[in-house]
């Protein structure tokens, strides 16, 4: 149980285009989903926390107009990187909160490369 999927697993896009990443909880409902970014040889950095049916809470320094998060249902959250630039190239990982507040289940990650 507690499986989280992400799609796509990797994507290459041209600078200036937008990319949407989906995060799904496959066998449970997730009221809260988290989006992380990880640059090479660095740890995970929380970008935003999204709650189903409400606006996402962004961490300091993360542009909410650039990284659009939608959590339209209890099993799906999407992250859209708008007007992507090469510096947005990173590993994006989502996690879904479980029933207990100390539970987080991670997706497999999405490797984004912007050329």
Partner 1 sequence: GQNIDQPTEMTATEGAIVQINCTYQTSGFNGLFWYQQHAGEAPTFLSYNVLDGLEEKGRFSSFLSRSKGYSYLLLKELQMKDSASYLCAAMDSNYQLIWGAGTKLIIKP
DSSP state of 55: P
A 10 A CB-CB count for 39 gives: 12
* Interface with partner 1 in residues 23-42 (CB under 8 A): 34, 42
- Angstrom distance (rounded) from CA 20 to CA 31: 20
CB of 47 within 8 A of CB of 57?
Answer: no
Asked if 60 touches partner 1 (CB under 8 A), the answer is: no
Least distance from partner 1 to the Cβ atom of residue 99, Å: 13
- Candidates 5, 31, 49, 80; binder of partner 1 (CB under 8 A) is 49
- Angstrom distance (rounded) from CA 77 to CA 100: 19
Asked if 54 touches partner 1 (CB under 8 A), the answer is: no
- Candidates 19, 30, 93, 112; binder of partner 1 (CB under 8 A) is 93
Enumerate binding residues for partner 1 (CB under 8 A).
34, 42-46, 49, 91, 93, 101-102, 104-109, 111
């Amino acid at each position: 149980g507690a499986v989280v999927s992400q799609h796509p697993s990797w994507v290459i896009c041209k600078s200036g285009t937008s990319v949407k990443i989906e995060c799904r909880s496959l066998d449970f409902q997730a009221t809260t989903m988290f989006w992380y970014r990880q640059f090479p040889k660095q740890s995970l950095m929380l970008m935003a926390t999204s709650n189903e049916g409400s606006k996402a809470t962004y961490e300091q320094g993360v542009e909410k107009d650039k990284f659009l998060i939608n959590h339209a249902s209890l099993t799906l959250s999407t992250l859209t990187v708008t007007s992507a630039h090469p510096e947005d190239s990173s590993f994006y990982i989502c996690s879904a909160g479980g029933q207990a507040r100390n539970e987080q289940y991670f997706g497999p990650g999405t490797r984004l490369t912007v050329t």
